[in-house]
Structure 1
Amino acid sequence: MLLAYFTVTFKDIKIHPDTSKSRARKLKAKKNTVSTYLIGQIGKNKSIPDNPIDLEKILADVYVVIKQAQALIGGRVIILECENNERLIRLYESQGFQTLAVAQDPEDENPLVTMFISIK
């Protein structure tokens, strides 16, 4: 029985040119580009009554996988992209994620919010 799932990949992102120098330094940005681990999907199986899995537990498993990858290929930042939904943003902020301004496609009618957390 599948309780939850996630996907992780490695992705270069372009941060917005107006990002503060201190934040760019913290992210180890080079020419406004940051190499990151991207949590592509994250979800909980809601068809299971009283599913004990929550976001904190899923992220704990995500961090284990990323730590293993980090030992092999490096990297210092994890990002995720979510809908511009205040409830969802607050949920990820409660887990330590912060919003990050990235270069957006001006033709994108529903741009996603990019959030990040540094790997400890």
Structure 2
Amino acid sequence: MALNVISLYDLLKSIPTEDDIKTLLFSFKTLGSQDSAGADDVEYFLHNKSIQFEKMDLARTYLVMSTYKSKPILVGYFSISNKPLTIPNRQFRKLSNNLKKKLLGVGFKTEQSSYVVKGYLLGQLGKNFSNEAILANCCNGNDLLQIAYKKVAEAHRIVGGRILYLECENVEKILNFYKANGFNQIEDYESENGYCMMIKQLKDII
């Protein structure tokens, strides 16, 4: 079954009232887990923050659509930001020398000794677990990542960049998913939110 990608930015430009858009966004449901609270964040972002982020040009959200019984349905979404990865000096010093060398191969140190590398933040990635989306059964996490890669590749051709990165919970199932898709975890790194950092070089995507 074909998947179509719709930019939330384009929807906001073409549809005069936001109520219809919000109806679509609120059709997205996540699957709760005792091991992970992040699923609630994925749902909350789409319902309550995605439109604001579009208007403020903080991120671009893409809705992945399919059909079920000839009716269009939202099966997943992702959001991307053109945002460099910055690791504070106190965190950078904790990394192994081998990892420091690898990171400095794609980034640089600032005057404040923070580590910076130009790239893109995969802020959100989520599959819809509403009843209709489950019945349609036409999209999984790997599909969403492949679509996100294409959007990142388009951005790279225009403005460059070295990595795609994301923050995720320290949950084995989540970490294994991204590792299976070629992301590497920055060991001994924890974000301000207590999340793990995963990175993938754009040369492996474009």
Same fold per TM (> 0.5)?
yes
Q: How far did 1:22 drift? A: 3.1
Q: Is the 8 A contact 1:14 1:103 kept in 2?
A: no
1:14 equivalent to 2:97? Answer no
Please show how residues 88-107 of structure 1 align to structure 2 within 5 Å. 88-101=174-187, 104=190
Alignment of 1:1-120 (within 5 A): 1-15=73-87, 16-17=92-93, 18-19=95-96, 20-26=99-105, 28-31=106-109, 32-47=115-130, 48-50=133-135, 51-101=137-187, 104=190, 108=192, 111-120=194-203
Q: Which runs of 5+ in 2 are unaligned?
A: 1-72, 110-114
Deviating beyond 6 angstroms after TM superposition, the runs of 4 or more aligned structure 1 residues are none
Considering fraction of residues, name the structure with more helix: 2
Under a length normalisation based on structure 1, what TM-score does the superposition of the two structures give?
0.85
Larger Rg: 2
Using a 3 Å threshold, how does the CA distance of structure 1 residues 79 and 87 change in structure 2: closer, same or farther? same
Distance 1:21 1:94, change over 3 A: same
> Normalising to structure 2: TM-score of the pair?
0.51
What is the letter of the counterpart of residue 108 of structure 2?
Answer: K
SS in 1 for 2:176: helix
Secondary structure of the structure 2 residue equivalent to 1:57: helix
Structure with higher RCO (Cα < 8 A, 6+ apart): 1
Q: Secondary structure at the match of 2:149?
A: helix
Which residue identity does 1:24 align to in structure 2?
A: L
> Match of 1:2, SS?
strand
Matched residues in 1 for 2:148 and 2:104: separation? 25
Which amino acid in 2 is paired with 1:9? Answer: S
* Aligned residue pairs, count: 116
In the TM superposition, what whole-angstrom CA distance separates every residue of 1:20-49 from its partner, at most 9, and x where no partner exists? 3431144x1110211221000100111122
Distance in 2 of aligned mates of 1:84 and 1:46: 22
